[in-house]
Amino acid sequence: MFRIPFAALLAVAALSAPSPAAAQAPVVRVTEGQAQGVAEDGVAVFKGLPYAAPPTGPLRWRPPQAAAGWSGVRDASAYGSDCVQKRAGWDATQSKLPVSEDCLTLNVWAPAKAAKLPVMVWIHGGGFTMGSGSQPLFDGGTLARRGVVVVTFNYRLGRFGFFAHPALTAEGAEALGNYGLMDQVAALQWVKRNIAAFGGNPDKVTIFGESAGGGSVIQHMLMQPSRGLFRAAVSESGGGRDDWPTLAAAEGKGVAFASKAGVKGSDAAAVAQLRALPAKTLAGNLDLLNGEPDTYSGPMIDGKLVTSRPGEGFAAGRQAKVPFLVGANSNELGFIPAIFLGPVTAAAAKQLGDGKDAVVKAYGSKAEYDAHLASDLTFVEPARYLAAQAAGHGQPTWLYSFGYVPTAQRGSQKGAGHATELAFVFGNLGVLAKPATPEDEQAAALIGDYWTAFAKTGDPNGTGRPAWPRYDAKADQRLEISITGAAAPGPAGGPGLDAIRDHFASKK
């Protein structure tokens, strides 16, 4: 008789028994049904949960519709597809997931046994043409271990998310054009309905985002459908003086695109043809560096959802008066080679018109102007401007400048470039090009403490770190995080920034 050794029996038993991770796989019930995630180092993780119906076929260029329910227990262990976009080979932070129009999903990280914890909802950047909530950079596990529930999500990008055409306008939809922003509202509504099931507090939601995501945060503070869906806001490098086109101008670009794609007219037949266009045709070659300005508008002032430029809305006090943390990096566009920085600076300077000479003079030299204008005009000065407007309306506001440079990069980087704070905000230093040092880890801990304290209390301050003064236009101070990670209050202005501010003030 053939005998199986006892050791082999043990091995077979071990293989057939459920693993501890599988045995502890968390299950939640949301409005659409039950979902099972995974347990990772004390954090329950749920991925790929639909917050709206797939915006495909007849739902292309319509406001997001309710997600369908499901029976049984849904597997929530893997991310959903990213929204359709062109993968940019120069951006190593992008995910490698497949792209699809069926992409309106979100992801949740919650500490085990969480109960009524603050919630941080992340809105990714990428110029409204790239990115996703599933990029490795945005893994929420490290943040969640700080005692918050973290949510990331996808929203429609490029012409799928931001498109206007007279034929679509004629359909008489309640909102038009800014479908990607409508998706963001739908995701926040889903969080409001469901986050308690994950141990989050629906009345203690902080929205935070960077670049286009930071600009989205600013718009949510102004958009009426977003009211009551968050109680604090963080805008990182989100601009604030953006001049989005009107709906009519966006329609003109939509008509130009349609004509190029062989679609004429503005009747129901034209709508059907537009909705039947292949996704590849709509995607085109759009990315952060190629805006196809003749046929793509980007976000717009549609008159219903978005009713004004952000700076105008804040100046009038129309924003939600929630605690507000805003800022930019110390050398936002410093990564651009000198040969390309000149054209970028020239394009930015068009906003100054006949005020350019005064601004050049304020910087003290043409070299200083060339080095800093594009960054200051696009990111740094608008953050200061929004902080002044918010604080002037009695809003608790904190302004920052992030200047930390990873230890291994200090020989080549003079300051913190665009988006370089993200690895530190999320605590995901493993995405850095070179291994993190203890100094890098200390900087990440500092930033994580400020950001999560803000989410928990509505104030970034706390014991064990430098005090961060509330912004006041007279004192004009921001928290400056230096290239080495030292943090201290410092002046928010300077001759160049003051000249930019005064130029815009003179144009009112």
Instruction: Report d(CA 476, CA 424) in Å as an integer.
Output: 26
Instruction: Report d(CA 109, CA 411) in Å as an integer.
Output: 36
C-alpha R_g of the chain? 24
Q: Print the SS3 string covering 166-223.
A: HHHHCCCCCCCCEHHHHHHHHHHHHHHHHHHHHCEEEEEEEEEEECHHHHHHHHHHHC
Please tell me the predicted confidence (pLDDT) of residue 4: 34
The three-class DSSP label of residue 261 is coil
Q: Bigger pLDDT: 246 or 12?
A: 246
Question: How wide is the angle at C-alpha 342 spanned by C-alphas 482 and 400, nearest 5°?
Answer: 25
Residue 240 structure tokens: 């604030």
Please tell me the predicted confidence (pLDDT) of residue 335: 80
Nearest alpha-carbon partner for 207 in 153, 126, 282, 279: 153
Q: Bigger pLDDT: 414 or 110?
A: 110
Looking at every residue in the chain, the average pLDDT score rounds to 93
The three-class DSSP label of residue 469 is coil
Q: Print the SS3 string covering 316-379.
A: CCCCCCCCEEEEEECCCCCCCCHHHHHHHHHHHHCCCHHHHHHHHHHHCCHHHHHHHHHHHHHH
Q: What are phi and psi of 495, to 5 degrees?
A: -55, -45
Dump pLDDT digits (tens) for 456-483. Answer: 999 999 999 999 999 999 999 999 999 9
Please tell me the predicted confidence (pLDDT) of residue 17: 39
**Pairing assessment for the beta strands 117-123 and 232-236 based on DSSP bridges:** unpaired
Residue 1 has pLDDT above 50, yes or no: no
Q: Active-site residues: which are they?
A: 211, 332, 418
pTM over 0.85: yes
Q: Which residues pair with 111 in a beta bridge?
A: 43
The mean-pLDDT minimum among 296-300, 408-412, 438-442 falls in 408-412
Q: Tell me if 301 sits within 8 A of 175, measured CB to CB.
A: no
Please tell me the predicted confidence (pLDDT) of residue 23: 41
Please tell me the predicted confidence (pLDDT) of residue 93: 87
When pLDDT is cut at 50, 70 and 90, the band that residue 147 belongs to is very high
The three-class DSSP label of residue 33 is strand
Handedness of CA 315, 320, 321, 327 (dihedral sign): negative
The mean-pLDDT minimum among 169-173, 240-244, 337-341, 403-407 falls in 337-341
Dump pLDDT digits (tens) for 27-44. Answer: 999 999 999 999 999 999
When pLDDT is cut at 50, 70 and 90, the band that residue 498 belongs to is very high
Domains (range + CATH), the chain: 27-339+375-506 (3.40.50.1820)
Following CA atoms 426, 431, 437, 438 in sequence, which dihedral angle do they give, to the nearest 10 degrees?
20
Dump pLDDT digits (tens) for 377-415. Answer: 999 999 999 999 999 999 999 999 999 999 999 988 889
When pLDDT is cut at 50, 70 and 90, the band that residue 89 belongs to is confident
